[in-house]
Amino acid sequence: MTESVIQVSGLTKQFDGFTAVDHVSFEVQKGEIFGFLGPNGAGKSTTIRMLCTLSRPTDGTATVAGFDVVKDDSRVRQHIGLVSEKLIMYNDLTARENLRLFGELYDIPKETLQRRIEKLLTFVRMEKWADARIGTFSTGMKQRINVIRALVNQPEILFLDEPTLGLDPQSTVEIRELVRRINIENGTTIILTTHMMVEADLLCNRIGVIDHGKIVAMDTPANLKKIVSGTDTTVLEFEIPNLTPALLTALGSLACIESTTREDDTHVKIRAKGEGCFDAVIDGIRTNGGQVKGVRNLEPTLEDVFLQITGREVREQVSDHVPMADRRGPRHGPRTPSSRVR
């Protein structure tokens, strides 16, 4: 029987009357990668903050590693690691010094901590830069150290809040691979928040789709996609050299078309429904003067799932009601002692 390491029931968080997290309930099984997928401001990070004991719930209950996040908060922190959206490191210290500093906060014996640090640096292939100052690292290198910083206490459960936010494509791939390795090689349970559909699809065993503070769907990526593919909806991508706003407006008025999304100057993604929808879309394009150069029948994506469930695409803006501490902002990292206002 699979063991639940996180159990959440009716968890709620309100800020001055605004409900950021609205009675969410779910469980996370030992050893899985569980993802919270949703737009910025949907309540993902606020949920994580409550589970990590950084924010007190307004209502509901949650246990992490068997301990209540309110009554046993100190015990919870002994079993978890957190990688937040901001880099929690000091630029004037070396990679090894940063890891030692955070390790000492857990009262880990000196020799044990040193062995653990060397192992972690090797794990992320950063041993050559162990004695280089963090301030000289690329963003991707910093994030690798930031991730293993959360592993110095050997947590059973690792929380990753938008771990690839702001990274270049190569660094993004490296961090995703690191997440897989931590899960597979260490058996660590991972809770991941992201607004990136591809990231959730590639990494997560199960996904909770969250919007406006509510979990609107929860299942494996494959089963979530069946919400779309199980219907008679077809997603088509057309290449139309003479694509114009007028043509898009005309297509949007067709009865069989649910939505049109312009990808660039010549490509449009069309969701059409019903038998014979393909022929109807082709006729609609040609009737309105469009030239079809190419067409692809697209497999459903998690973005399609979100659109199907919520009736809109993923938002990027943050709600004005969410306090600044819980908002998405540019990644700056912590201040070093030398950068403080004196």
Class of domain 4-220: alpha beta
Does domain 226-299 bear CATH number 3.30.70.100?
A: yes
Say what the pLDDT of residue 339 is: 30
- What are the residues whose beta carbons fall under 8 Å from the beta carbon of 300, sequence distance 6 or more? 225, 228, 229, 235
pLDDT of 214 > 70? The answer is yes
| Continuous H helices in the chain | 44-51, 73-78, 95-104, 110-123, 139-149, 169-186, 197-203, 221-229, 245-252, 277-287, 302-310
pLDDT of 326 > 50? The answer is no
Which of 110-114, 151-155, 206-210, 329-333 is the least confident region? 329-333
Strand ranges across the sheet with 4-15:
18-29, 4-15, 59-64, 67-68
The structure tokens 């607004």 sit at 195
Question: What residue spans in the chain does CATH classification 3.40.50.300 cover?
Answer: 4-220
Span 165-183, pLDDT tens digits: 889 999 999 999 999 999 9
Question: What residue spans in the chain does CATH classification 3.30.70.100 cover?
Answer: 226-299
Confidence of residue 54 (pLDDT cuts 50, 70, 90): very high
Span 263-319, pLDDT tens digits: 999 999 998 888 788 888 999 999 999 999 999 887 778 888 888 888 766 654 444
